[in-house]
A and B are shown apart, each in its own frame.
Chain A
């Protein structure tokens, strides 16, 4: 074993930098030397606190770095400081009392945190607790004091029941719950969903059942009887979905995200990508809020089996051979009229504070060839009539796009811009999207359609 003092050994053990032999020897000592094991606990405690402190201080320190007389290399890298946040931050980030709240909500729904602030709509208007709200059209976005955000789509009937809870009588919503909102509770006529720090959707189907889909993190789904007593529970994990069946008193698994995406011709996607079958109304019309999420890009199927009524110009990235022959930038290709295509929308909206740009890197693999991408705002607007899921029903609705900027290196080669690349076999899309709090990156992916419609 290296000639280290025990302090260094313990820290190296925590850092996992000891060799297997050294690890074994130190673990043997833990069993034989109670004092060393106790020191290990103290080191672990301090390590956890340091991570917690850094998470709290990240923003302030970022500013500190930019003001400090540190070497220039540090300043150059300062914008990357702590960018790659994990979805689930350390449990102590906001105090484990939040988890405690989760536990209490789990067993006793009426035991809730004191009302410190009100639940408000995104407009700032206060939502009265325990008053039934109905939503006939469009969508409503609720902001909870705990940081949870809920995007409800019409038609829906709901009631805010506390600072971190809601009753969904009918309809569907997507909830984005940060670590500060862990324990967010959704009651429906069929059961209860308790969030454990996640992004998930809930849909009730009147008298039938409640569906839960988890995109990130996990939730606890429960069947609850008329007296509010939990009858059965089940954890629903990331990319999984479940049905709360009150009649059968069970939580049944339903097809997970990968199974559903496969029906649309998506073979796979990286962990930074979330597939969602239905594009929420607010996102479809360009009112972006709830889907704000650092490090996560979404892919939504728009319309499938679209027969192009006219030639359509799309962009493709140069193949490796083309790059070798000097072609560096995306170039347009024309898809002839009558081509049958499927359209997907990739979308990225980080939540970090203004002025900071967060990159997301992702890959999506399709079964069939990618024919091209549509990146520019103008082109996105022009192709809404072909591809936008809302367009047929509501051609007059205002739809806002923001687009994706690639190839701007022509203007400033040193600046960083979005990257969207199609593999040489045209089946894999890779992207690095760089966006900030006030910006969204979005683009369309046009894929060759299958002969047969997708099995829904």
Chain B
């Protein structure tokens, strides 16, 4: 196998391994799924294009995260709707995502959350679906549609999220105990 081919499979494997952590970091910084999608695409391209510059595989995630960090800052600079952001916040989140990923892969957490979602009662699933779909409906609109107060809907969603977090924690604990 040629060196070039090795390089291809390396970047494939590493990007697969860390794609969720990269995306989550970007999403935490911009708090908008569309913007996060766009930035993530740009970061993926940049990673593939400049992979040859990486000295060691061990440094892949910090290196890719640094690319993401720069793209996020650039996004905040060019986005009209964003207020000036403190780069220290973006740095703090970058360090946090690395610690979190080292402790427990975010891909694993995703899998557990997916399992937990399937166990939710149908009405809870429905509420989550309404609040997280792409239609842009505000919680106020959802509340109106289901005939409840906005505060009540917020409280219900908050409870469901808490239940899901507990479920994830339990499943991760079970897995580590096996």
Which A positions have Cβ atoms within 8 angstroms of B? 7-8, 11, 13-16, 20, 27, 30-31, 34, 37-38, 40-55, 57-58, 61, 64-65, 68, 70-71, 73-74, 77, 80-86, 88-92, 96-97, 99-100, 102-104, 106-108, 111, 196-197, 220
Determine if B109 and A107 form an interchain contact, defined as CB atoms under 8 angstroms apart. no
Cα distance A37–B89 in the bound complex, in angstroms? 9
Q: List 27 A-B contacts (CB under 8 A).
A: A14-B31, A16-B31, A30-B89, A34-B95, A34-B99, A40-B93, A40-B96, A41-B100, A45-B20, A45-B110, A49-B109, A50-B132, A51-B132, A54-B128, A55-B134, A61-B126, A86-B134, A91-B37, A91-B40, A96-B16, A99-B41, A102-B44, A102-B45, A104-B11, A104-B48, A107-B48, A108-B5
Which B positions have Cβ atoms within 8 angstroms of A? 4-5, 8, 11-12, 15-16, 19-20, 23-25, 27-28, 31, 33-34, 36-38, 40-41, 44-45, 47-49, 51, 83, 86, 88-89, 91-93, 95-97, 99-100, 106, 109-110, 113-114, 117, 122-123, 125-126, 128-130, 132-136, 144-147, 158, 161-162, 164-165, 168
- CB < 8 Å: which of B16, B123, B136 contacts A97? B16
B residues in contact with A100, CB < 8 Å:
12, 15-16, 19, 44
- CB < 8 Å: which of B5, B34, B95, B129 contacts A58? B129
A residues in contact with B110, CB < 8 Å:
45, 49, 52
B residues in contact with A55, CB < 8 Å:
133-134
- CB < 8 Å: which of A85, A102, A220 contacts B134? A85
Cα distance A82–B20 in the bound complex, in angstroms? 24
Q: How far is the CB of A251 from chain B (nearest CB, A)?
A: 15
Determine if B161 and A103 form an interchain contact, defined as CB atoms under 8 angstroms apart. no
Cα distance A443–B41 in the bound complex, in angstroms? 37
Question: Given contacts A104-B11, A220-B45, are A61 and B100 in contact (CB under 8 A)?
Answer: no
Which A residue's beta carbon lies closest to that of B106? A45
Q: 10 other contacts beyond A30-B89, A92-B20, A102-B45, with CB at 8 A cut-off?
A: A8-B158, A15-B31, A27-B86, A45-B24, A46-B109, A53-B132, A58-B133, A68-B126, A84-B134, A100-B12
Q: How far is the CB of A36 from chain B (nearest CB, A)?
A: 9
Question: Given contacts A86-B134, A99-B40, are A30 and B92 in contact (CB under 8 A)?
Answer: yes
Cα distance A45–B95 in the bound complex, in angstroms? 15
Question: Given contacts A41-B28, A46-B113, A68-B122, are A54 and B129 in contact (CB under 8 A)?
Answer: yes
A residues in contact with B11, CB < 8 Å:
103-104, 107
- CB < 8 Å: which of A34, A43, A61, A81 contacts B135? A81
Determine if A48 and B24 form an interchain contact, defined as CB atoms under 8 angstroms apart. yes
Give the tally of cross-chain contacts (CB within 8 A): 202
Q: How far is the CB of A96 from chain B (nearest CB, A)?
A: 4
Which B residue's beta carbon lies closest to that of A233? B49
Which A residue's beta carbon lies closest to that of B141? A77
Cα distance A88–B4 in the bound complex, in angstroms? 32
- CB < 8 Å: which of A54, A111, A196 contacts B133? A54
A residues in contact with B114, CB < 8 Å:
49, 53
Determine if B146 and A71 form an interchain contact, defined as CB atoms under 8 angstroms apart. yes
Determine if B33 and A48 form an interchain contact, defined as CB atoms under 8 angstroms apart. yes
- CB < 8 Å: which of B23, B158, B162 contacts A91? B23
Q: How far is the CB of B93 from chain A (nearest CB, A)?
A: 6
A residues in contact with B33, CB < 8 Å:
48, 51, 90
Determine if B19 and A96 form an interchain contact, defined as CB atoms under 8 angstroms apart. yes
Which B residue's beta carbon lies closest to that of A4? B158
Cα distance A443–B31 in the bound complex, in angstroms? 40
Cα distance A71–B144 in the bound complex, in angstroms? 11
Cα distance A53–B114 in the bound complex, in angstroms? 7
- CB < 8 Å: which of B8, B132, B147 contacts A71? B147
Cα distance A40–B177 in the bound complex, in angstroms? 26
Sorted from nearest, which 4 A-B pairs have the closest CB atoms?
A103-B48, A37-B96, A44-B28, A96-B19
Q: How far is the CB of B103 from chain A (nearest CB, A)?
A: 8
Determine if A65 and B126 form an interchain contact, defined as CB atoms under 8 angstroms apart. yes
Determine if A90 and B133 form an interchain contact, defined as CB atoms under 8 angstroms apart. no
Q: How far is the CB of A380 from chain B (nearest CB, A)?
A: 33
Which B residue's beta carbon lies closest to that of A54? B132
Cα distance A43–B36 in the bound complex, in angstroms? 15
Cα distance A86–B30 in the bound complex, in angstroms? 18
B residues in contact with A51, CB < 8 Å:
33, 132, 134
- CB < 8 Å: which of B15, B31, B122, B161 contacts A46? B161
A residues in contact with B96, CB < 8 Å:
30, 34, 37-38, 40-41
Question: Given contacts A65-B126, A111-B8, are A89 and B134 in contact (CB under 8 A)?
Answer: yes
Cα distance A89–B38 in the bound complex, in angstroms? 10
